[in-house]
Amino acid sequence: MNNFQRKLKRRQQKYKNKTSRLQALDRRINKSQSFSRSRRDEILSRKRNLNFNNVCKEPTICNKNEIKNYVRQIIDGCQNEQQFAIGLLKEFTYGPKPYFSDLIFYKVPELLNEILVNKEIAHVVKIDALWMVANFSCSTSLLITKEIIKTGIVPTLLNLLSCNKNDHEIIEITLLALGNLLQDCNDSKNEFLTNGSLDFLLNLYTIDYPAKIYQDITWVLTTLCQGSLCNKLETYSTLIEAFTQLLKEKDRHLLRIACSGLACLGDHKELLSYFCTTNTFEHLLNLLLSNSQLSNKDYKTKQIALFAISQLFKNSNKNSLIIHIFEKYEIIQILSDQIKNSNRPSLIVPDIILVLKRATQGGSKIVQAILSSQILTRIFHILLQQQEELQQQNLKFKSKTLSNLKHIQHELSWMLFRLSSHCGQNQLSSLIDQGTFQIISQLLKEIHDLSILKPTLKTINHFLISEIFPILDFLDETNSLKIIEALTHHQNNKISDLSTDIIDNFFVCHSLVYEKEIEKENTLIEQQQHQQFRSLF
């Protein structure tokens, strides 16, 4: 027995003792937490702003020899030794502080790529190697992700998908790693979209797979839609068409992912014409109309569909196509009916408000259509209803209702500001008639939430600048003016400046009203004098 075998045996014995078993248990717990879907989404949503001055820095003394031995064992060992070594090496990629930089120093990513390319390597070893690639791809450092991509791992993963079409385990892990890598690096994403790999990925839908794999394929497609666009815009029309076709499916999770992909693409005004040619609007609206009676879980699908619609209106800016679509499909009527017929309208009202807020950019026609319908009245009613429920509920349900109420208030405050900004004089009067002042007084009480307070103050100021004089009585009769006077001393400069402007404009409007009353009285006196003069003759 040589020295290496003795060390290996001692290492195996040490691994079996009580302390190592507890450590292994902790690592398994970290593993399950790390690769649960919610944990993965949380990691991916973080900004990749960690500063790694040198990704390939010298490993720490505690794991330097271990990593070196495991790498040598994978290269020179038999199948059992390879399986044992890669299993232990995989542990370095788990936990809250994985040793990614140490592994990169010993060129482990290149080794993983070689393992996945080699057809003679055992299936179990390939599975562990794939998990290591997936763990690397979940890194919050863009530098580490680029180091993995440099090894040529993306073509290798695509090759694995094509050669293992019947191995569901390999396909799931490969899709996870591929999606994370493509999401992180724009260069790889552009190469993927332009070299024909997209068609290969879309062809996977033609194979009979479990629903989970179809969901993963769709998730990978959504990662291609995030960030900046590549030069070849025609490629995205294929993606839009694919997502639109998926809206016909019955799988709730698949529908949500497809809507998320459309929402990402809708953020780019260059692609607006493609949405119109693929009837995406029609399919999204059909998704809203598909089921009138939905469970609480299914409301999430409607929320994402509404968000996708709002993204398409985000960059409209008086675009004639958007105005045409808005009128063609009677979107306001559909949204109004959604509130009316829903069992729990408060769950979808924030997303409906977001659609209306962004649609106001379409111009006066859309603004007039919103004011002419009953949708604002219904939204105001839902808000007041939520406030009443909050007062009546016990502590157990209050936090959820309060969170939803804040969401409604936030979106509504911005929608009222956008709506009033695009209204003419007569339209502002129509907006007042629908009970806007009552809602403004409720929103103005949220003095600790600047995201609600700021747009509310802007709306009040716009009414004053537009010389809508009924607002003077509203501010006088309620405590609103006192609240605004107190806000002039607010620690936030923007809030204090806005409040000061409102007070100034309030007195300007009062002086205008006074001047108009004097002018009116003078006109009456002149008319009376003229009549008296005529009566003499």
pLDDT digits (tens, 9 = 90+) for 128-151: 888 888 887 776 577 777 788 888
Alpha helices in 422-479 (DSSP H): 425-433, 436-444, 450-465, 470-477
User: DSSP state, 250?
Assistant: -
Output 297 or 293, whichever has higher pLDDT. 297
Residue 453 domain-assigned? Answer: yes
Which residue type sits at 461? N
What confidence category does residue 17 fall into, taking pLDDT thresholds of 50, 70 and 90?
low
Q: What are phi and psi of 517, to 5 degrees?
A: -65, -45
More confident residue, 442 or 146: 442
Domain end (from 147, 174, 195)? 147
In this structure, the number of other CB atoms found within 10 A of the CB of residue 402 comes to 13
pLDDT at 53: 36
- Supply the pLDDT for residue 140: 58
**For residues 284 and 305, what is the distance between their CA atoms, to the nearest angstrom?**
6
Domain hosting residue 41, numbered range: 1-147
Mean pLDDT of the chain: 78
pTM of the predicted structure, to 2 decimals: 0.76
At residue 39, the pLDDT reads 43
Would the pLDDT of 393 be above 80? no
Q: What is the pLDDT of residue 512?
A: 82
Q: How far apart are CA 96 and CA 307, in angstroms?
A: 33
Residue positions counted in the chain: 537
Task: Supply the DSSP symbol for 119.
Answer: T
Distance CA 252, CA 438 (A): 39
Task: From 147, 167, 182, give the residue that closes a domain.
Answer: 147
Higher pLDDT, 147 or 169: 169
Answer whether residue 468 is part of any domain: yes
Q: Which of 479, 416, 400 is nearest to 447 (CA)?
A: 479
Mean pLDDT of 233-248: 87
Q: Answer whether residue 186 is part of any domain.
A: no
For residues 289 and 206, the model is more confident at 206
Q: Which residue has the tokens 């019955």?
A: 250
Say what the pLDDT of residue 291 is. 56
pLDDT over 80 (residue 74) = no
Q: At residue 401, does pLDDT exceed 50?
A: yes
Please indicate whether residue 95 or residue 356 has the higher confidence score (pLDDT): 356
Picking from 147, 172, 187, the residue at the C-terminal end of a domain is 147
Domain count, the chain: 2
Residue 113 in any domain: the answer is yes
Split at pLDDT 50, 70, 90, the class of 29 is very low
Three-state helix/strand/coil letters over 12-68? HHHHCCHHHHHHHHHHHHHHHHHCCHHHHHHHHHCCCCCCCCCCCCCCCHHHHHHHH
Residues 109-148 as b or e (16 or more Cβ within 10 Å = b) = bbbbbbbbeeeebeeebbbbbbbbbbbbbbbebebbbebb
Is 483 inside a domain boundary? Answer: yes
What confidence tier does 21 reach under pLDDT thresholds 50, 70, 90?
Answer: low
Please state, in angstroms and rounded to a whole number, the distance separating the CA atoms of residues 41 and 34. 10
383 pLDDT above the threshold of 80: yes
Q: If DSSP codes are grouped into helix, strand and coil, which group holds residue 118?
A: coil
- The interaxial angle of helices 252-266 and 211-225, nearest 10 deg, is 10
User: C-alpha dihedral over 513, 519, 523, 529, to 10 degrees?
Assistant: 130
Residues in CB range of 378: below 8 A, 6 or more apart: 336, 339, 340, 345
Domain assignment of residue 463, yes or no:
yes
Residue 272 pLDDT grade (very low, low, confident, very high; cuts 50, 70, 90): confident
Q: For residue 133, how many C-alpha atoms fall within 13 Å in the half-sphere facing its CB?
A: 35
What is the predicted pLDDT for the residue at 63? 60
- The pLDDT assigned to 481 comes to 86
For residue 11, pLDDT over 80 is answered with no
User: Structure tokens of 46?
Assistant: 């973080």
> Percentage of residues in the chain with pLDDT exceeding 70?
81
In a domain, 174, yes or no: no
Answer yes or no: is 239 within a domain: no
Residue 293's pLDDT band (cuts 50, 70, 90): very low
Q: Is 119 in contact with 25 (CB distance < 8 Å)?
A: no
User: Which pLDDT belongs to residue 46?
Assistant: 37
Cβ distance 464 to 509 under 8 Å?
Answer: yes
